[in-house]
Amino acid sequence: MTEHKTVPTGNSKEIYKLRLFVTGATPNSTRAISNLKAVCEKYLKGNYELEIIDTYQKPLTAISEQIIALPLLIKKSPLPERRLIGDMSDMDKVLKGLGLLTD
């Protein structure tokens, strides 16, 4: 069994800039929003900006970001930029994608 450590963020002044692309109020989109908000509040409280973009309402934004699958989370900062596809229910995958989990 692999042991993981979460990187403490309480002292970090770096703001995580996140963009979550969804498609309306579909079950997958709703789950992704709920799961991501829970992760942010638990691990990034006070250190994140989350923008939720409905591709039905803002199709040009989705095109400019070259979205190929939804729901999609883009971590804009801190660098490197990362993209995660899915409903954000795989906690290890989300934490690794955000750079909050180390092996």
The residues facing 20 across adjacent strands are 52, 73
Residue 12 forms part of a structural domain: no
- Quick one: tokens of 79? 């660098």
What's the pLDDT tens digit per position in 7-42? 444 445 789 999 999 999 999 999 999 999 999 999
Query: Taking Cα atoms as reference points, which of 71, 68, 76 lies closest to residue 90?
Result: 71
Distance CA 98, CA 75 (A): 7
* Burial degree of 97 (CB within 10 A; 0-12, 13-18, 19+): middle
Looking at residue 85, which CATH number applies to its domain? 3.40.30.10
Confirm whether 11 is domain-assigned.
no
Question: Would residue 10 count as lying in a domain?
Answer: no
- How many domains is the chain partitioned into structurally? 1
Task: For 40-90, write each residue's pLDDT tens digit.
Answer: 999 999 999 999 999 999 999 989 999 989 999 999 999 999 999 999 999
The pTM (predicted TM-score) of the whole model is 0.86
For the chain, give the mean pLDDT: 88
Domain that holds residue 60: 17-102
